[in-house]
Amino acid sequence: MLNYTLTHPPLLGALAAAGHGSQVLLADGNYPAATAKPLGAPVIHLNLQPGLLSVTQVLRPILEAVNVEAAHVMALPDNGHVPAHEEYQQLLGESVDFSVVERFAFYEAARGPDVAFVVATGDQRICANLLLTIGVRA
């Protein structure tokens, strides 16, 4: 019996196959999840309808299952304020290295060889993408 709330079998399997240093992309509903990822990285579709599920809703149970050492988010073109980024920082805590990355640099990072899988969400917020690096188990 699991001791945490994450019960989605494909997501559990993908997390179990990823290890320290692997990256996980939680993509908003605007992200081109089919093309802006490494070849061979699976996409787990949790985008049932616009607004359901959000990146924040997916992040919460993931944080119960794995440790995260770093997180990268996509900057707005004008470097404006993105409320979703504050939510992520609060959930991740101060021990996680958090950085805001220019849009095209984010796409490049999300295509990197360490990206194990992508979770496509229905999040409608602009620049709500979140690239996590899995940390070591305590």
Q: Domain range for residue 95? A: 21-134
Number of domains in the chain: 1
Using a cut of 0.85, tell me whether the model's pTM lies above it: yes
CATH, residue 109: 3.40.1650.10
Helix locations, the chain, DSSP H: 9-17, 55-65, 83-92, 103-110
Residue 103 located in a structural domain: yes
Residue 107 located in a structural domain: yes
Per-residue pLDDT of the chain (138 residues; tens, 9 = 90+): 577 899 999 999 999 999 999 999 999 999 999 999 999 999 999 999 999 999 999 999 999 999 999 999 999 999 899 999 999 999 999 999 999 999 999 999 999 999 999 999 999 999 999 999 999 987
